[in-house]
Structure 1
Amino acid sequence: MKKEFRVKKNKEFQEAFKKGKSFANRQFVVYILRKEEQNHFRIGLSVSKKIGNAVMRNQIKRYIRQAFLELEEEIKPQYDLIVIARKPVAEMDFHEVKKSLIHVLKVSRVLNKPRLGNTKNQ
């Protein structure tokens, strides 16, 4: 994930928490803030120390970044997304993390309709 596509500053996180909308499932909470001037979405990640040691937290963050990289074409560009991982994520593999993220992003209506060549049966 390129640097310009990440939310890094505390001020930007706080703005998303205060002005954005939140959507959640058991594994993730996602705060979404629409920014009209952006031409690419940005993500910010938060994985609490309650979830595990540094190795586990970094692995979870890598899984989330990779999932967003694979979903890049389907995510609407004008958003800041703050992803907060919950405890059940610690026992999940990459494919489960991606599936859970897709679910919460569909609920939040940030995903575009999938392309015709991108069906479940493939």
Structure 2
Amino acid sequence: MEKKYRIKKNEEFQAVFRNGESFANRQFVVYFLKKPNQDYFRLGLSVSKKIGNAVTRNRVKRYVREAFHQIDEEIRNSYDYVIIARKPTSNMDFHEVKSSLIHVMKRSKLLKTSRG
């Protein structure tokens, strides 16, 4: 994932938390903030030490990034997204992570294919 598509700075995370909206399921919390002057989406990841050791946390982050990469055509642009992984993600494989992310993104109407 290219640098311009990432959220890394604490101020950017805080802006999404303070001004954005959120949706959640058992595995993930998705915070999102509309950025009208931005023609692509940016992604920030938060995986707590409660999830597991560094190997587990990095695996979860890799899975989430790859899932976003695979569904990036369906994701609405002009948004900043912050994904917070919850405890159950530590035992999930890639396909479970991807389907869980798609589920929470559809619930929040952030996919172009979602109706509602």
In the superposition, the TM-score normalised over structure 2's length comes to 0.96
User: Structure 2 counterpart of 1:100, which letter?
Assistant: S
Q: Give the letter aligned to residue 22 of structure 1.
A: S
Partner of 2:106: 106
Shift, 1:27, TM fit: 0.1
Displacement of 1:78: 0.8
Residue of structure 2 equivalent to 1:49:
49
CA distance in 1, matches of 2:113, 2:104: 14
The 2-side partners of 1:63 and 1:20 are apart by 24
The percentage of aligned residue pairs carrying the same residue is 62
Q: Which residue of structure 1 lines up, in the alignment, with residue 23 of structure 2?
A: 23
- Counterpart amino acid of residue 51 in structure 2: I
Q: Structure 1 runs of 4+ off > 3 angstroms? A: none
Aligned equivalent of 2:2: 2
Task: Quote how far apart the aligned CAs of 1:113 are.
Answer: 1.2
DSSP 3-state at the match of 2:105: helix
Aligned-residue Cα RMSD (Å) equals: 0.8
Counterpart CA distance in 1 for 2:83 and 2:59 is: 15
**What SS class does the counterpart of residue 15 from structure 1 fall into?**
helix
Classify the secondary structure of the residue corresponding to 1:73. Answer: coil
State the 1:108 CA deviation: 1.0
Q: Which digits, 9 at most, give the CA deviation of each residue in 1:28-54, with x for residues without a partner?
A: 000010000111100000000011000
SS of the equivalent of 2:73 reads helix
Residue pairs, 1:63-74, within 5 angstroms: 63-74=63-74
Q: How many residues are aligned here?
A: 114
Partner of 1:81: 81
The higher radius of gyration belongs to 1
Q: TM-score, normalised by structure 1?
A: 0.92
Q: Which runs of no fewer than 5 residues in structure 2 stay unpaired?
A: none
